[in-house]
Structure 1
Amino acid sequence: MCSCWVVLAFCCLGQLCADQSLRPQLAAPQLATNNPTLTTVALEKPFCVFDSSLSPNKSYVIYLYAMKQLASAISSVVTTTTNRPLNSTFQQTSGGQFGPYKAAAFSVPNCASPPRLADVRDVNKVSDILKQYLFRVGDDGTCLYDPNFLGICNPPLAPETTYRFKYVLVDSTEGIMKDQTLWSDPIKTKRVKLPLKIDTWPGRRSGGMIVIASILSVLMFLLLAGLLASVSSAVVGSEDSSAETKHMSQTIQQSEQRPQLNSE
């Protein structure tokens, strides 16, 4: 099954190569289940998207920007007038409400040398292979509250909120933007489900739950039947013991009365 995931990832890479203006995309369900979540969004990394903008002997880095859908078109710019990428943070933009913030920085994915398929057979390497293809926005739950944190903070996103994302290619030496993708289509995080709205109707139960409930019902019936049998046995036994005691008492009384009659 793991090999199918990586094969699918290669197919996604082929689509990326075919369209240089591709927007950031949600990770395929086979690669990231339950996506988006309440506070995270898993995106495919921009494999082969910026190859035409890369120059030999140059060092590059990719910035990932995020903003809420409510942000205006004017505030969606991610560079300064000198073409330098913005360093706006989550806190400065109120979590992307007033404009894009930098959520991550990572190396340019190597389109020419993807992970080896043979490594998929190693369970210990599957997670690392998938991390090379995917990035999860909102995956750091501690950076906002750590006074010593100096890196790029990628805090949890807001539930039931629509976001958009953009990849930017930056020349590490000159510190200027070389290329960028379009903003992604709107992506909405999941909503919090209130306890009163959680469906507990038996018809929604899985087959396993029904089997377990049936087994517990049978065991409860057997337990009650055994308890009733024990009580009935105890009652019958006490009645038999009482009758036997009464019979013995009458026999003793009769035997005591006979000597008295003989003496008279």
Structure 2
Amino acid sequence: MDQNTVLEIRDARHPSPWRPGDAWLGGGTYLFSEPQPHLRRLVDLSRTGWTPVRLLADGSTEIAATCTVAQLSRFAKGLTAAAAPLFEQCCRAFLASFKIWNMATVGGNLCNALPAGPMISLTASLDGECLLLAQDGARRRVRVADFVTGAGRKVLAEGELLRSVTLPSGALARRTAFRQASLYGLGRSGALVIGTRDPVDGSFAVTVTAATVRPVRLWFPLPPAAGALRAAVDAAVADDEWYDDIHGLPQWRRHMTLRFAEEIRQELEGTAR
């Protein structure tokens, strides 16, 4: 879609004072999907040259905000780690064309903060941490689970940039289980639940997305009993935090979440045994 209010596109490599009507431009799949009448200037990140995905010296994994879905998928295909299949499962949860895969970015998916954002699901479930850069050069780090605060809401300040998401050392070694439900065969996720099991200490975590307005991550030192897990989900998600739109009623989303959480608990507990 043409954005006829945009007067200028600026290269992000050349700093300039942030002003009203500015927006960061990553892949542009959202910015150009619907009218953005408030925009006057786009700050283009496409030529920053950031490495899409890299393994750091401390064993952690850094995913640049400009990493595309296609690049992340290719990276995961070269992994032999236990969590490798989860990357492809979340990439496929986009149900997007090859054009979107090659343009849509991890950072854009997080910053849109949509409940069904599968890059939110992936990085929140693996304890991802966002690196945020302010206009004055200040840096801060925020857990992905805390970065998104509601449907379309995130903790970014005006002009602040999501630079990357870092997955901690050991995250890729976890066993994972993935469940997703949509009302339609090729529909947006109505409930997406991911479970992880740490092979070192046996800890168990469940991350709920798509069904809720924000990512909800529950951690247990060991897999809980079925009743305890159900109670923990209900305690963590307030009644008004179950998402409600044409892709699913709150009651159905809660039902599918609880069902998937229990399936995942059984699967990962059985894997450990």
Query: TM-score, with normalisation over the residues of structure 2?
Result: 0.23
Structure number with higher relative contact order (C-alpha < 8 Å, ≥ 6 residues apart): 1
Give the structure-1-normalised TM-score: 0.24
Structure 1 or 2, whichever has the larger Rg, is 1
The answer to which structure has the higher strand fraction is 2
Q: Which has the higher helix share?
A: 1
